[in-house]
Structure 1
């Protein structure tokens, strides 16, 4: 299984190195991860309760303010713990 996964990834790099992709494909590959991540997060949050949504907002605000992934994780986990402790 690991070998197949490695070959798929290595094959993709080999193909992209050998073949010149059109500018549209370059732009798509460069900008696609952020919308995919946003869709995954939105779907996960839509299936959670209010405390999870509020903790995610705290996490996003911390990331926007400090631009530090570690701080945003601590803020989100701390907010979730505080909300659960408060009974939400």
Structure 2
């Protein structure tokens, strides 16, 4: 064991990786608490700020969904379209199960995306 890693049980963590994880946690904490402190300073949220905050969920969802859809294979596209269609009628866990089933059927049933 070298002096640059910490070994615990079945895995070892490099000290630089551990430092990166801690720093990312601290940065995440301060960005969240900073947003709260900024908004709590308003007596009334201005309409433009409220509009921007209302747009955040759609922007985050687009950021997470668009790259895999356009860069992924047909198995990913089929799973996402299936999840979209199921999502119009059913709640979250059902959407997840339908998307998973679609990608597994595409990959293992039809050999798409392997």
Query: What band does the TM-score fall into relative to the shorter chain?
Result: 0.7 to 0.9
Between structures 1 and 2, the one with greater strand share: 2
Structure 2 counterparts to residues 54-73 of structure 1, below 5 A: 54-66=78-90, 68-73=91-96
Superposition RMSD in Å: 1.6
Structure 2 residues without counterparts, runs of 5 or longer: 1-22
Structure of larger gyration radius: 2
Aligned pair partner of 1:40 in 57, 64, 67: 64
* Structure of greater relative contact order (alpha carbons < 8 Å, 6+ residues apart): 1
Name the TM-score, length of structure 2 as normaliser.
0.67
Structure 1 residues without counterparts, runs of 5 or longer: none
Structure 2 counterparts to residues 9-88 of structure 1, below 5 A: 9-19=32-42, 20-66=44-90, 68-85=91-108, 86-88=110-112
Pairs aligned (count): 87
Moved segments of 4+, more than 4 Å: none
Between structures 1 and 2, the one with greater helix share: 1
